[in-house]
Every structure is written in structure tokens, then in C-alpha cells.
């Protein structure tokens, strides 16, 4: 396919350049806009003739300056480029409509192979499969739990074109459950569910769901075929919730300001003399001791409302994160209200906290 991009060629005027131009004309190489200015000859031509021009240049030993008239474009306006762009857009969209991989994350390799074999032979799960033809989470979970009675739950994670099945084994009925396992997990606070770390139990909520204090997050009771099994609930359920706090800080704060740092040197003269007399030099650190000293002075600063965001908020953030459980995080904070009187600066801060809100509640008889 022809390339019609235009290049501008410049050559210094001399006898060899004149013969060079004459040879271009003799070989019928089309040039346009030939111009002479300040000892330079310049002309335009199609880039497709550039190879022939370079061969003639070598013959006459002239130096050329070549640059494109318009910036070089990676994507040309032609049918091939358009077809390639369409493929880049359409192919990923088409491929994204399929499930390409189903993984089983079971406790043992043997159990994973058994589940995988059941999916292929009994459930006719042949990949790739259109997403709209794939089993719903409810149907897939129900069939697996009916086939594998040892499962208390099957977690299904869909990410892009892959599905991960994580079966959760139910405790053996012959083993007596500890008292700590006879429990549900309920919400200790209202919030929006973000993620889970569940070891046992039946999940009753989903991500992005709003729950309220006292709602059951993970049930410790499993119902199957009109039978009730107490499996216990154990794990963590994380949620976002807003926490409002107030603060009151003295307007005048006394602080220590560093003035200077200097070093106190102390020489062990006795050891130095002994080393000298023994014609051996002890290590320097045993002969000379030096300790840093700092000089501070007290300074009283007056805090204004403008100092809250850059001075007070970082301190309040650090104090709040220390008061929360270990895995908690503060996602954002908003300064709601600030006012100052003669002696103090007061205000309210709203924190968006993410923490484990699951708290145990005993399973009562009859549940």
C-alpha cells in the first residue's frame, strides 16, 4: 500500500548538489516546491521515493537534511489500520462474554479433583461458556452442596472471565462442638459491608449491603433437607461506618523547641597512657566517649482555627487509630465544626472507619 507522507529535503548549494538535482530529474523522481535560499536548496517529495534519493546521494556525496512535513503518525488513515483498530476493540469485548476458567480451591488436591470431575461429567460444564449460560451462584452452590454433603457452604468468587469455588467443610457430627462454636455473628454497629474473613458459618449478608446493629451477619445454624445442624459461626466481617468525635484543645500550647545540638567528648587518659607505654593503640571507641546533647527552650504557641487541619487533625487521627482494634483503618475524615473561645478550640470530626463489626451471640435452643 502506497505511503503518501511528505518529507522536506534540504541540501547545501554547490556543484555536487546541482548534479544531484539533475540526476533526480533524469531518473524521473518527482519533486515539488524546489526553492533556493541562503545557500540552501530545499524541495518536497513523497516518502516512498526516499530510498532512491539516498542511493543518488551516496553517488554524489552530498549531505541531506530530511524531516517530515507533518508529525509521523503511527496509525495511518488506511483500511488496514481501521481493520486492526476494530479488532482491538471488538475481540476483547467478545472474549469478555465468556467464562474461560473455573478453579476449585479446596482443602486437598483430591477433593479439588473430585469437584472438578463432577462439574465436567455431571453438570456438563464445558469451557469456554457464555456468561449468560453459566450457572447462577444459587444453582451452582445448591448442586454442589447436594452432591457433597460434607460442605457447609461454597463460596463463589467471580472476577472477570474466571470463577473460583471455595468449599467450606462442615464439622463432623461425631465431634462435639465447643461452647465457643455455638454462636452466631451479629453486627455490633451499623454500616456498609466491605469484605469477609469467615472460617465457619453461613453468610447472611453480601458486600455493599447496609446492616444495622443486631443484624445477623453469619449464622451458626445450617439447614439441609429439613435437618438443622449447629456448625457455629466464626470469623470477621468488615464494614464502613461513620464515627463522630468531639475535641477540645487549649488555645495556648506550651512546647519545647530545639535550639542546638552539640557533642560532649570525654577522653580516657589512663587507658591512653597504658596503650602508649605498651606500644599498642586501643580501639578509638574505648579511648574516647562522645554523647550528643540537645538544648531546648520552652515556647508558648497560640492555636487558631486555621491551624486545625495542618496541626490538630494529624494528632487526632493518630489518637483515633490507636483507640480502634488492630486491623481497623480510617479511610477519610471530615472536619464538621470548629469554634474558638477565649481559652480553648473546640470542634467535631467525622471519621469513615472500616473495622470488624462481627460479635458473637450464643445460639439459643430452638433457633
Can you give the CATH number for the domain in which 57 is found? 3.30.70.120
Q: Which of 213, 154, 153 is nearest to 361 (CA)?
A: 213
- Shared domain for 59 and 113, answered yes or no, is no
What is the pLDDT, as a whole number, of residue 360?
92
Residue 24 lies in a domain: yes
Residue 136 lies in a domain: yes
Res 172 pLDDT > 70: no
**Grid coordinates given for 206:** 453480601
What is the pLDDT, as a whole number, of residue 288?
60
Domain boundary, last residue among 68, 86, 110: 68
Kindly report which listed range (14-28, 62-76, 173-187, 193-207) carries the lowest average pLDDT score: 173-187
Residue 240 lies in a domain: no
What is the pLDDT, as a whole number, of residue 274?
58
- φ, ψ (nearest 5 deg) of residue 177: -80, 145
Residue 154 lies in a domain: yes
Mean pLDDT along residues 310-328: 75
Mean pLDDT along residues 319-325: 77
Termini Cα distance of the chain:
78
Domain boundary, last residue among 120, 135, 169: 169
pTM confidence score = 0.40
**Grid coordinates given for 97:** 462474554
Percent of the chain with pLDDT over 90: 11
Question: Which range has the top average pLDDT, 116-120, 295-299, 301-305?
Answer: 116-120
Contact between 151 and 167 under an 8 Å Cβ cutoff? The reply is yes
CA–CA gap between residue 206 and residue 209 (Å, rounded): 6
Bond before 318 cis per omega within 30 degrees: no
Confidence of residue 132 (pLDDT cuts 50, 70, 90): confident
What is the pLDDT, as a whole number, of residue 241?
93
**Grid coordinates given for 310:** 495542618
CA–CA gap between residue 161 and residue 100 (Å, rounded): 6
CA 242 from centre of chain: 23
Which alpha helices (DSSP H) does the chain contain, by range?
15-26, 50-60, 79-95, 109-121, 137-147, 269-277, 284-287, 313-323
Tell me: the pLDDT tens digits for 202-252?
Answer: 899 999 999 999 999 998 888 877 777 888 888 999 999 999 888 887 777
Tell me: the pLDDT tens digits for 14-49?
Answer: 888 888 888 888 888 888 888 888 888 888 888 888
Beta bridge partners, 335, equal 349
Residue 131 lies in a domain: yes
Contact between 176 and 193 under an 8 Å Cβ cutoff? The reply is no
Tell me: the pLDDT tens digits for 290-301?
Answer: 566 667 677 776
Q: What mean pLDDT value characterizes the chain?
A: 78
- Shared domain for 100 and 164, answered yes or no, is yes
Residue 252 lies in a domain: no
137-147 and 109-121 helices, crossing angle to 10°: 110
Beta bridge partners, 336, equal none
Beta bridge partners, 137, equal none
Beta bridge partners, 297, equal 257
Confidence of residue 55 (pLDDT cuts 50, 70, 90): confident
Residue 123 lies in a domain: yes
CA 169 from centre of chain: 32
**Whose grid coordinates read 489500520?**
81
CA–CA gap between residue 17 and residue 24 (Å, rounded): 11
Residue 144 lies in a domain: yes
* Domain region containing 62: 6-68
Domain boundary, last residue among 106, 136, 169: 169
Looking at the 3D structure of the chain, how many domains does it have? 2
- Shared domain for 63 and 105, answered yes or no, is no
Kindly report which listed range (56-70, 155-169, 309-323) carries the lowest average pLDDT score: 309-323
Percent of the chain with pLDDT over 70: 75
Burial class (CB in 10 A: 0-12, 13-18, 19+), 57: buried
What is the pLDDT, as a whole number, of residue 18?
86
Q: Which of 192, 190, 194, 179 is nearest to 234 (CA)?
A: 179
Pairing of β 162-169 and β 101-104: parallel
Amino acid at each position: 500500500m502506497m505511503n503518501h507522507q511528505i518529507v522536506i529535503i534540504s541540501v547545501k548549494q554547490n556543484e555536487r548538489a546541482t548534479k544531484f538535482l539533475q540526476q533526480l530529474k533524469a531518473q524521473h523522481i518527482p519533486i515539488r516546491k524546489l526553492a533556493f535560499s541562503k545557500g540552501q536548496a530545499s524541495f518536497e517529495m513523497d516518502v516512498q521515493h526516499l530510498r532512491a534519493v539516498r542511493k543518488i546521494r551516496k553517488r554524489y556525496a552530498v549531505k541531506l537534511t530530511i524531516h517530515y512535513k507533518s508529525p509521523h503518525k503511527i496509525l495511518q488513515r488506511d483500511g488496514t489500520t481501521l481493520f486492526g483498530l476494530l479488532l482491538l476493540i471488538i475481540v476483547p469485548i467478545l472474549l469478555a462474554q465468556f467464562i474461560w476458567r473455573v478453579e476449585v480451591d479446596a482443602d486437598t488436591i483430591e477433593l479439588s479433583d473430585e469437584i472438578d470431575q463432577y462439574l465436567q461429567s455431571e453438570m456438563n460444564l464445558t469451557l469456554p461458556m457464555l456468561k449468560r449460560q453459566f450457572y447462577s451462584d444459587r444453582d451452582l452452590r445448591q448442586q454442589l452442596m447436594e452432591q457433597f454433603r460434607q460442605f457447609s457452604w461454597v463460596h463463589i468468587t467471580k472476577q472477570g472471565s474466571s470463577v473460583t469455588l471455595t468449599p467450606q467443610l462442615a464439622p463432623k457430627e461425631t465431634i462435639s462442638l465447643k461452647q465457643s462454636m455455638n454462636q452466631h455473628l451479629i453486627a455490633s454497629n451499623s454500616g456498609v459491608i466491605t469484605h469477609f474473613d469467615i472460617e465457619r458459618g453461613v453468610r447472611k449478608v453480601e458486600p455493599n449491603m447496609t446492616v444495622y446493629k443486631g443484624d445477623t451477619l453469619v449464622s451458626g445454624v445450617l439447614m439441609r433437607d429439613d435437618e438443622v445442624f449447629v456448625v457455629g459461626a466464626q470469623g470477621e466481617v468488615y464494614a464502613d461506618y461513620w464515627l463522630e468525635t468531639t475535641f477540645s484543645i487549649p488555645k495556648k500550647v506550651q512546647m519545647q523547641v530545639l535550639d542546638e545540638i552539640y557533642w560532649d567528648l570525654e577522653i580516657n587518659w589512663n587507658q591512653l597512657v597504658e596503650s602508649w607505654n605498651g606500644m599498642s593503640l586501643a580501639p578509638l571507641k574505648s579511648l574516647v566517649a562522645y554523647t550528643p546533647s540537645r538544648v531546648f527552650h520552652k515556647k508558648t504557641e497560640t492555636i487558631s482555627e486555621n491551624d486545625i487541619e495542618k496541626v490538630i487533625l494529624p494528632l487526632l487521627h493518630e489518637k483515633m487509630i490507636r483507640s480502634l482494634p488492630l486491623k481497623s483503618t480510617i479511610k477519610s475524615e471530615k472536619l464538621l465544626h470548629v469554634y474558638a473561645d477565649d481559652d480553648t478550640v473546640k470542634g467535631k470530626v467525622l471519621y469513615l472507619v472500616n473495622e470488624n463489626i462481627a460479635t458473637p451471640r450464643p445460639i439459643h435452643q430452638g433457633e
